[in-house]
Structure 1
């Protein structure tokens, strides 16, 4: 039986700010063991016996970060493929494009196992058993969802009322009182947002219940194939077609309407890691109930979660707080109000503050840059270029740049000149000069870049050539 684990990777993760940002969302957050939630989802799917490839639906801007994360853990060389959306349209569109691709590249009987990139599952054996049960149901034409047996009256999850594998109804996020009634009844499960179904079965259901979403997504896929002329492992959906796809979740668009829906009740150690309290609970508490990650000194502190990967944090005489320290932002919140962090994120986004979108260290296809200092008419960056990688051939209207090589060797195009810059050497790029930076070596190239000029925004860039497809 062909099984295609399909990872949906997107979202903002606004409740996990300041570690989660728009271009570094929740799936990329590293847990205490060093692995990201996305990597754990990949390994979870790749460990299944019938898995043929890992298909990932993600945003175009997150493709290279996703590929880097997978490369770190894909020791067995599991085949990977990607559908790249220009912007989010929720899970119905993502699943429609995945099902169309799987039906075309495998067949309509191939099963999709839809996994969220930002959930945590700690019991792999129980998960494998639940998938086997779901596969059996899906092979009979069922649209299968996974229901988590609840152990608390959670108000942040949707619920499923069920008898065995039969779904009686889907229920919205309840009040505390109603959630307790659901827990006491023993008839309700948490809606996990994971699914299993044959490609043909979900396409037929979408044709019946949300034909506009399916037709608009089909138009995207047809345009994609016409433009590329072949089946690729990275399929970029054209924005001018994708913007016509209506936004909706697969739950609302199909699962709550279809008659052939089934559920697999399971206890797999599942969490959607929806707040800093949930992240903190993954770390063992000390005698005072404190959970800490990083270099932290405490005096008369209790029931706090403190995370600081880069700096020493000291806390005195506080109780029941979440403290998250990053190089450019600090969060202090009451643990009981950890869900409200999303309001800080929303205010940053509304004001246009870049702290909702970027960290000081920004990942690019070619490597990373870290902003060391930013002042009037100057900015200092540390740039790391991966072996064999190169930046685009580009130009800036409003700034000049000094490049100092700290380690490695740089191949530089500067105007009409091409030169090699070795360790402890430098070069100057005047404004309006075409230039390109490349690492021709086998080790990382590390540089310090000093920008100066009247405008230093990241959007002051004109690309002429680019190996990563960022030039029209």
Structure 2
């Protein structure tokens, strides 16, 4: 038995509450908001102490598998496994699958800590003191959740009523409280004895599987079978779809934590946010003397207590207070910070209209295992993209039936295969790939390769790619 904690990072969510930066295909955990790392990378960093933690297990879906691998690689962090969910089944099946995998990898006595990949946490002494208390409590057989000392009558979080003190320093859970309205939230804050439910858990892998089997047996059956029949795919583990799809769509809170007699809570006062709204981003940001948090190219005049974020365009904001102004490459959101919890309803309205649905699904910048691309301009029978290729990486050997391509190197050095010929393309040089010709782009250098790609033809969809050889196993 290892005395180290096994981190389990849940990274499959597709939330759009931080639209327009967060989209279904580019969710918030993989986006840089605060500091120089994404939320997922910050989560990896919190579990990087090898004296306390094993290498983490990440559970995500196929769409994000290369993002997970690349962002871990950037930090030099090894992963124990990347489990790919074949379908979205909420947190109970994900926890059950991860617990089953942890038992196979680390033994039946493994203690796992379940973390969301999209929370912002300041991991100070208070945080690690809470981790120590939770570890002792989990070793005693309890199922532990972390409760955050409330700083305001928030209505966006669930609450936990704290019960009697346990010998380990944690407390029993008296009851869970659903997200309250403003009046009830204020009453709980005034009464004391309530904490925010953080969605962070710690328990024995076998212990939580036993409890899920007791209260939600269909979840355990499906998850364990999915792990037993899983298939390796490069550095990923594909959970068996036929088995996993049988799992009920239920959260670990509803399936177990609200039913078990052994729930415990560690009340803590470390800085925590689920980054569930632009208001939360503003509260965590560094505010200027006028209370503004600004990211990107901005000019503010007579503006107070606002969040202004721009990815590319220069934003000028005048005479406003308490607003969020967020500009991505292709959309701008403007709204009051105190109403930013309702962005989800706006996104649903956008998704329901054919003209605006793509704005909720895909981002102009898409990431691939070799780097990625940003869509710059689309027109009738042409489009322009910026390609960026990580050092040492290469695209698949491929061809297109309906388009030709012009590549201009703007940074770095490219190795270009066209038919049987391989040529080196340097900065300010260009190359032409005829329609139907087999070709490949690679970065043999030590710095990021940037290319401008101009596509022309009758059909320019991403599905007009016939991959002949692909080192990432894509068809």
Report the TM-score range of the alignment, normalised by the length of the smaller protein: over 0.9
With over 3 angstroms needed to count, the CA separation of the structure-2 counterparts of 1:436 and 1:86, relative to structure 1, is: farther
**Corresponding residue of 2:360:** 356
The reply to whether residue 205 of structure 1 matches residue 208 of structure 2 is: no
Equivalent of 2:21 in 19, 22, 25? 19
With over 3 angstroms needed to count, the CA separation of the structure-2 counterparts of 1:390 and 1:123, relative to structure 1, is: closer
Distance in 1, matches of 2:219 and 2:113, equals: 20
Is there any run of 5+ residues in structure 2 with no aligned partner, and where?
166-170
With over 3 angstroms needed to count, the CA separation of the structure-2 counterparts of 1:343 and 1:439, relative to structure 1, is: same
Residue pairs, 1:180-191, within 5 angstroms: 180-191=186-197
**Corresponding residue of 2:268:** 266
Distance in 1, matches of 2:290 and 2:102, equals: 52
Equivalent of 1:399 in 400, 403, 407? 403
Alpha-carbon RMSD: 2.1
Equivalent of 2:72 in 65, 70, 73? 70
Distance in 2, matches of 1:262 and 1:233, equals: 35
TM-score, structure 2 normalization: 0.92
Deviations 1:15-49 (Å, cap 9, x if unpaired)? 11111122221112213421221121111122373
Equivalent of 1:418 in 413, 418, 421? 421
With over 3 angstroms needed to count, the CA separation of the structure-2 counterparts of 1:30 and 1:328, relative to structure 1, is: same
**Corresponding residue of 1:192:** 198
Kept after mapping to 2: 8 A contact 1:392/1:464: yes
**Corresponding residue of 1:155:** 155
Deviations 1:110-144 (Å, cap 9, x if unpaired)? 10011111111224211111111111111111111
**Corresponding residue of 2:40:** 38
Deviation at 1:8, TM superposition (A): 0.8
TM-score, structure 1 normalization: 0.92
Residue pairs, 1:7-406, within 5 angstroms: 7-47=9-49, 49-74=51-76, 77=77, 79-163=79-163, 164=165, 165-224=171-230, 227-228=231-232, 234-351=236-353, 353-406=357-410
Is there any run of 5+ residues in structure 1 with no aligned partner, and where?
none
Distance in 1, matches of 2:180 and 2:248, equals: 27
Deviation at 1:240, TM superposition (A): 4.1
The secondary structure found in structure 2 opposite 1:463 is: strand
Distance in 1, matches of 2:452 and 2:240, equals: 37
Deviation at 1:436, TM superposition (A): 2.4
Kept after mapping to 2: 8 A contact 1:305/1:323: yes
Deviation at 1:257, TM superposition (A): 1.3
Distance in 2, matches of 1:400 and 1:157, equals: 51
Distance in 2, matches of 1:10 and 1:351, equals: 25
Distance in 1, matches of 2:53 and 2:66, equals: 23
Deviation at 1:356, TM superposition (A): 1.7
Deviations 1:188-225 (Å, cap 9, x if unpaired)? 2111101000111011111111111111112211221x
Larger deviation, residues 12-21 vs 43-52: 43-52
Distance in 1, matches of 2:235 and 2:285, equals: 37
Deviation at 1:465, TM superposition (A): 2.7
Distance in 1, matches of 2:462 and 2:353, equals: 18
Kept after mapping to 1: 8 A contact 2:386/2:453: yes
Task: Figure out how many residues of one structure are paired with residues of the other and give that number.
Answer: 464
With over 3 angstroms needed to count, the CA separation of the structure-2 counterparts of 1:48 and 1:13, relative to structure 1, is: farther
With over 3 angstroms needed to count, the CA separation of the structure-2 counterparts of 1:301 and 1:442, relative to structure 1, is: closer
Deviation at 1:251, TM superposition (A): 0.5
Larger deviation, residues 333-342 vs 456-465: 456-465
Kept after mapping to 2: 8 A contact 1:80/1:233: no
The secondary structure found in structure 1 opposite 2:247 is: coil
Distance in 2, matches of 1:213 and 1:123, equals: 32
Kept after mapping to 1: 8 A contact 2:134/2:266: yes
Distance in 1, matches of 2:37 and 2:444, equals: 29
The secondary structure found in structure 1 opposite 2:297 is: strand
Kept after mapping to 2: 8 A contact 1:219/1:241: yes
